[in-house]
């Protein structure tokens, strides 16, 4: 167990070297998360902040796996360093945990900011529910990122696929706005999108929305995760072809 953990830490340290050298990436994410609070506060006061917190935490959790973990693995395919890791005692599990640990600073920065804001404004429970939902949706996003990183034939083009996917998955559906503003016939299809289901689940748990029960929303995320497990299982190969 200790050896496994050490191995994951070694991988995390190697894969996150870019964050140590270019912390501007973290600053950018922090500033975006903060700016979103300001923007939504200016339109909706404290309620606006609640939507910023639930929406952005759900969106970040989705982006974390696809854009973070997926891209870093794709980058290692481009640099051919993935071969260095495969042809070694490093297990795929240790590598994946390392890749997740290496990308987690992005999420920690946002979580800390929102925990502070939530604490100051008395909305801590909203942040905690949103983080709980982030934990629910993270396996889906990680599996999708992993699958994309191995599935794409030309890994140098990976970001051209994952970036639009993340953007479309978080900006268009009701992630930052309530599903209730959509016409009746669009609500259910919109909530079939996992990011929307996650954000709505966070809002429902936090008492911001009463449109849907939490169980169907949870089941939507679960079903997507199951599909992602099947897809990843099919395309992810720790080589031997």
Partner 1 sequence: MGEAVLANKLGKLYQNGVWGCREVSFLTLTGETVVLLGPNGSGKSTTIHMLTTLIKPTKGEGKVLGYDIVKDYEKVRKNIALMPQEGRPDPNWTPYEAVKWYLVARGLSLSSASAEAKMWLEELDLWEVRNRTGWEISGGQRRRTLVAMVLASDAPVIFLDEPTDGMDVEGKYKVWDALRKATKRGRSIVYTTHNMREAEQVASKVVIISEGKSVVSGPPHELVRGLPFRYRVRASRKPANAEFSVRVGETVIAYFESFSEALSALEEGSASVEEVSLEDVYLYYVKGRGSVSISP
What tokens does 141 get?
A: 């996003």
Distances in whole angstroms, Cα of residue 77 to Cα of each of 28, 69, 139: 26, 13, 22
Question: Of 1, 87, 120, 215, which lies in the binding site for partner 1, with binding defined by CB under 8 A?
Answer: 87
Position 234 contacts partner 1 (CB under 8 A): no
Question: Of 24, 27, 45, 88, which lies in the binding site for partner 1, with binding defined by CB under 8 A?
Answer: 88
Find the Cα–Cα–Cα–Cα dihedral 175, 181, 182, 187, rounded to 10°.
70
CB of 241 to partner 1, least distance (A): 5
Find the Cα–Cα–Cα–Cα dihedral 46, 55, 181, 166, rounded to 10°.
150
Question: Of 1, 20, 120, 135, which lies in the binding site for partner 1, with binding defined by CB under 8 A?
Answer: 20
Cβ distance to partner 1 smaller for residue 20 or 181: 20
Contact 32, 111 (CB under 8 A): no
Binding string, 54-83, against partner 1, x = CB under 8 A?
-------------------------xxx-x
CA distance 4 to 20: 23
Position 89 contacts partner 1 (CB under 8 A): yes
Name, in order, each residue with C-beta under 8 angstroms of 171's C-beta and a sequence gap of 6 or more.
none
Question: Of 1, 13, 40, 188, which lies in the binding site for partner 1, with binding defined by CB under 8 A?
Answer: 13
Q: How many residues sit close enough to partner 1 to count as binding (CB under 8 A)?
A: 30
CA 125 to chain centre: 20
Which residues would be at the binding site for partner 1 (CB under 8 A)? 3, 6-11, 13-14, 17-18, 20-22, 79-81, 83-90, 94, 98, 239-241
């Amino acid at each position: 167990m200790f050896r496994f953990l050490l191995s994951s830490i070694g991988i995390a340290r190697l894969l996150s070297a870019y964050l140590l050298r270019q912390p501007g990436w973290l600053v950018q994410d922090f500033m975006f998360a903060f700016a979103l609070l300001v923007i939504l506060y200016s339109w909706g006061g404290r309620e606006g902040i609640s939507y910023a917190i639930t929406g952005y935490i759900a969106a970040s959790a989705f982006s974390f796996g696809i854009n973070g973990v997926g891209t870093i693995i794709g980058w290692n395919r481009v640099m051919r360093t993935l071969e260095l890791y495969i042809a070694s005692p490093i297990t795929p599990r240790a590598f994946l945990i390392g890749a997740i640990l290496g990308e987690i600073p992005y999420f920690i920065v946002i979580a800390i900011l929102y925990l502070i804001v939530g604490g100051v404004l008395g909305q801590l429970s909203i942040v905690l529910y949103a983080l709980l939902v982030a934990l629910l949706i993270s396996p889906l996003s990680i599996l999708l990122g992993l699958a994309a990183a191995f599935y794409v034939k030309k890994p140098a083009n990976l970001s051209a696929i994952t970036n639009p996917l993340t953007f479309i998955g978080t900006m268009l559906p009701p992630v930052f706005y309530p599903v209730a503003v959509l016409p009746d016939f669009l609500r259910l299809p919109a909530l079939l999108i996992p990011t929307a289901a996650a954000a709505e689940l966070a809002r429902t748990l936090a008492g911001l929305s009463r449109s849907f029960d939490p169980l169907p929303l949870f089941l939507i995320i679960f079903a997507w995760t199951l599909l992602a497990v099947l897809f990843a299982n099919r395309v992810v190969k720790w080589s031997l072809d």
